[in-house]
C-alpha cells in the first residue's frame, strides 16, 4: 500500500497537524511525519520531496502558516500530488497562508484545503490513494456512509 508523507514547516504546528496521523491510522494508511522549513532548511525540504516517490510515498501533505512557502516548494520538486494545509498563525489568521497556497503558478499545482483543515487533507490523501487501492476505496465509502444522519 502506498504511503503519505506529511511535512510541516515548524514544530509549533505539531499540535494542529497531529489529527492527520490519527485519520491515516484509522484507515491503516502508512505515513511518516517530517519537520522541515522551506526557508530555514531548503536542502532537507528538497530531498524530502525528491525522494518521496522512491521511498514508497504516493501523496504529500504539506502544512504551513504565514507565507506558506512549503507546499509550493515541495510541489516544485516532485510529480506526486501535494495537498497544502494553510495554518492559522500570525496577524492575518491564516488567510495569508491560504492565499499563498492557492495561488500557485500553472504547472505547479497544489490541492488546498481550508485553514487548519488537517482532517480534510488526510481524507483527500486517502481518496487519492483509493483510486488505486480497492480495499481502501471500500473503507472510504463506508466512512462516507457513516457520515449520513
String of DSSP letters for 5-59: EEEES-GGGHHHHHHHHHHHHHTT--EEEEE--TTT-HHHHHHHHHHTTTTTEEE
CB 101 within 8 A of CB 130: no
Condensed to tens digits (0 to 9), the pLDDT of residues 68-121 reads 899 999 999 999 999 999 999 888 889 999 999 999 999 999 999 999 999 999
pTM: 0.96
104: DSSP letter? P
Instruction: Considering the domain delimited by 3-146, tell me its CATH architecture.
Output: 3-Layer(aba) Sandwich (3.40)
Question: Which pLDDT value is given to residue 2?
Answer: 86
Whole-number mean pLDDT of the chain? 95
For residues 51 and 36, the answer to whether their CB atoms sit within 8 Å is no
How many other CB atoms sit within 10 Å of the CB of residue 96? 17
How many CA atoms, within 13 angstroms, populate the side-chain half-sphere of residue 129? Answer: 29
Cα 105 from Cα 89, distance rounded (Å): 24
Domain residue spans of the chain: 3-146
Confidence band for 67, pLDDT divided at 50, 70 and 90? confident
Amino acid at each position: 500500500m502506498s504511503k503519505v508523507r506529511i511535512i510541516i514547516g515548524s514544530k509549533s504546528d505539531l499540535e494542529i497537524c497531529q489529527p492527520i496521523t490519527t485519520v491515516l491510522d484509522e484507515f491503516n494508511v502508512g505515513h511518516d511525519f517530517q519537520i522541515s522549513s522551506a526557508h530555514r532548511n531548503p536542502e532537507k525540504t528538497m530531498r524530502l520531496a525528491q525522494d518521496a516517490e522512491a521511498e514508497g510515498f504516493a501523496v504529500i501533505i504539506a502544512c504551513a502558516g504565514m507565507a506558506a512557502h512549503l507546499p509550493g516548494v515541495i510541489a516544485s520538486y516532485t510529480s506526486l500530488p501535494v495537498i497544502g494545509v494553510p495554518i492559522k498563525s500570525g496577524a492575518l489568521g491564516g488567510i495569508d497562508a491560504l492565499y499563498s497556497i492557492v495561488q500557485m503558478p500553472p504547472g505547479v499545482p497544489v490541492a488546498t484545503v481550508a485553514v487548519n483543515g488537517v482532517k480534510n487533507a488526510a481524507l483527500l490523501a486517502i481518496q487519492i490513494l483509493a483510486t488505486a487501492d480497492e480495499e481502501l476505496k471500500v473503507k472510504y465509502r463506508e466512512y462516507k456512509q457513516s457520515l449520513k444522519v
